[in-house]
A and B are shown apart, each in its own frame.
Chain A
Amino acid sequence: MSWVRKDLLGLEELNREEIELILDTAESFKEVSSREIKKVPALRGKTVVNLFYEPSTRTRVSFEIAAKRLSADVINIAAETSSVRKGETLIDTGTNIQALKADIVVIRHSFSGAAVMLARKLDISVVNAGDGWHEHPTQALLDMFTLKEKLGRIEGLRVCIVGDIAHSRVARSNIWGLTRLGAKVTVCAPRMLIPPGIEQMGVDVGYDIDEALSGADAVNVLRMQFERDAREAFPREMDYFRKFGITRERIKKAGGNIIVMHPGPLNRGIEIASDVADGPNSVILEQVTNGIAVRMAVLFLVSQANDKRFSAD
């Protein structure tokens, strides 16, 4: 099995072997970060551009560190979404980056499909670092990597994703990735935050968090964006915490062994209790660490595939 895609746009389009290849590659890169000199020359001479149309610290920093540990040169561009309409188009920005002889564009954008569109127009690699509500493939990959590290497998696991499913790219990518590797996924949220037809993505839907947690091996707690989309569905943050918040009691009630994940940044006391976030079930900081290995793997694989593509021409 070898990787042939020049881009990573989402997990929907990947098959099981491709996902496993990324996870295996990440495993071999993980050790680099624990070396005294945290660097390998895999991407030496390559240029990675982080093109972020949405404010993001952790994903951007994680990609930057991943690229640097592969010895790539990294440029960060923070573009304002609000000026997209007036200023340069996304495609023009992309073709300019290509003309600068960059090798990989890592794009974060508030509109769904932005990475897909850019990838269609560019010969260089495009890595989706989150597009609208659509996909955030590297986040789901690092979630899966962490799960596999903790439990030894994905196949047959029962994973609950709780929170604003409707507006979550993390949820969508996790659903595609987990189900493709044979996990059983339940999404749980207030009715208004469950998008229509989500069952057709191969998940069960629950509206009661205690039911959804019972028998689960892991719970992925989504960040509730009360400053944005979640407000109209759940006017009071405290009500959300009472009905859906992940607390010690709920963990205990569900058996006590559930692994607790969160893509960050945390809203303590809104979707997750502090003592859970910092407690023994939480793997939240390990996720952050694993994010680097996963992103190194992705950057490495797309770069290699694109090199091959051009040498084949």
Chain B
Amino acid sequence: MIKDSLLIKNGRVIDPVSRTDGIKDILCCGDRISGVSAGINEKASKVIDASGCIVMPGLVDMHVHLREPGREDKESVSSGTAAAARGGVTSVLAMPNTEPAIDSVENVELLKKIIHSGARVNVFISSAITRGRQGKELVAFELLKKSGAAAFSDDGCSVDSGDLLFKALVKSRDKGFLVICHCEDRKLSAGGAVNLGPVSTRMGLKGISAESEYRRVERDISLAAKARARVHIAHVSCAESVEIIARAKKKGIKVTAETAPHYFSLTEEAVLGYDTNMKMNPPLRRREDLEAVKRGLREGIIDVVASDHAPHTENEKEVEFHLAEFGVTGLETELSVAVTELIHGGVLDWQGLAGKMSLNPASILGIKKGTLSGGADADAVIFSPQEEWTVNAQDFVSKSRNSSFLGKKLKGRVRYTICSGKVVYAAE
């Protein structure tokens, strides 16, 4: 018997690094994987039978709002990471739009303490780009990086000053850190609640144009090119953004991009009943945009699927549509939505999915995750790819229930989530 060990038997192992795809066993000792091969017969202290299941590297979700510190009524590090575990996510990048914003070494240290005492999965920290996410004054990038910031983003806000963003990008190249851009020209989107077009017209709501997104995508990419820096574009939702990113990649600009499950599974039509759980920023767009996002995923234009998990209380959502907060939860449904739409929908194969949801975000963030190979961190998700389940508000472990998928039937159910060699979630 190997002390403190875990043996995952007979699962179909998908590893995007070694391109493994086959029935194998995985032996974890402590927090590391010690071996992946067929027929491991060592005696482990815990054995999981993964027959009929897919075993993938634990998901790396690089766009998560844990809300702590400051808005523990919506979510906390503890509840948010428990939700992550239920969704097969073993690493999250926590966005800095907390209260206070994560924009100083002091606040990073505070968050690290909270993570240390309460996190159920790995939490990486994104600092803001500007103080208080106000878009006026750059943060102390080097110090923040040293204290543990894995990336920088003014998430929820675009850095309106092109000059300031350019300076941040130049520094990011020199000092080797990642800038993530939320692309939105608020002069174009202000007051909007849904996608601008026939749906906003029918609903009598102010629209958010695709221009408000893609013009900013265009600007941020050209600033990155000029700074010879890399840049990551958050939550791509429209066809034009996909086109712009495709062109930039072709030119060799170091841009990476992410989308969220709702952008490849839902269209603006879902908003027609004024369901505030369909209200997010950027908004659900047209069918053509959804198809473009899928094409972007298939053709490698979009590198990452991340949830943009944005928990809100019922009080903030059960109000007039115009007043309701933007954002939806996603940690507990993202794998299943991706399996349903991308795997069963024929957009990606398993290797592709493991790339988009674990290896690629890990590489972009420069963290050693996203692989199931000897010596790697023992982070894995084990799920039954065909099993159907119904999303039920009562089952969420997140503090919030503002999911776009309530009542929906999804395929692919997480059976176990393993983080650092420990079972952090097991389905009943």
Contact = CB atoms under 8 A, between A and B. Distances in A.
Interface of A: 12, 84-85, 89-91, 109, 111-114, 116-117, 121, 131-135, 166, 169, 172, 195-198, 200-201
A100 to B, nearest CB: 21
B201 interface: yes
Interface residues of B, number: 20
B207 A196 contact: yes
Interface stretch (B9-17, B73-81, B192-200, B342-350): B192-200
A89 B205 contact: no
A135 B318 CA distance: 21
A272 B302 CA distance: 54
Contacts of B252: none
Contacts of B322: 111-113, 132
B204 A135 contact: yes
A290 to B, nearest CB: 24
Contacts of B205: 112-113, 132-134
Q: Which 10 A-B pairs have the closest CB atoms?
A: A197-B198, A133-B204, A134-B204, A113-B274, A112-B204, A195-B201, A111-B320, A113-B321, A200-B198, A111-B322
B251 interface: no
B201 A91 contact: no
B370 to A, nearest CB: 42
A112 B271 CA distance: 13
A285 to B, nearest CB: 28
Of B197, B204, B205, B319, chain A has the most CB atoms within 10 Å of the CB of B204
Contacts, number: 73
A172 B320 contact: no
22 contacts: A89-B315, A89-B318, A91-B318, A91-B319, A109-B320, A112-B205, A113-B320, A113-B321, A116-B273, A117-B319, A133-B205, A134-B205, A166-B201, A172-B204, A196-B198, A196-B200, A197-B198, A197-B199, A200-B201, A200-B202, A201-B198, A201-B201
Contacts of A131: 204
A89 B200 CA distance: 24
Given A89-B315, A113-B274, A117-B274, A197 B320 contact: no
B138 to A, nearest CB: 33
Contacts of A114: 320
A117 B271 CA distance: 13
A113 B203 CA distance: 7
B323 interface: yes
Contacts of B204: 112-113, 131-135, 169, 172
Contacts of A121: 318
Nearest to A131: B204
Query: Interface of chain B, helix or strand or loop or mixed?
Result: loop
Given A113-B274, A116-B273, A116-B274, A12 B321 contact: no
Contacts of A201: 198, 201-202
Nearest to B276: A117
Interface in B265-289: 273-274
B211 to A, nearest CB: 12
Nearest to A135: B204
Interface in B164-209: 196-205, 207
A116 B321 CA distance: 10
A111 B199 CA distance: 16
A84 B323 contact: yes
A89 B289 CA distance: 35
B321 A198 contact: no
A112 B201 contact: no
Contacts of A109: 320
Nearest to A117: B274
Contacts of B274: 112-113, 116-117
Given A113-B205, A196-B200, 15 more contacts: A89-B315, A91-B318, A114-B320, A116-B274, A117-B274, A117-B318, A132-B322, A134-B205, A172-B202, A195-B200, A196-B207, A197-B199, A197-B202, A200-B201, A201-B198
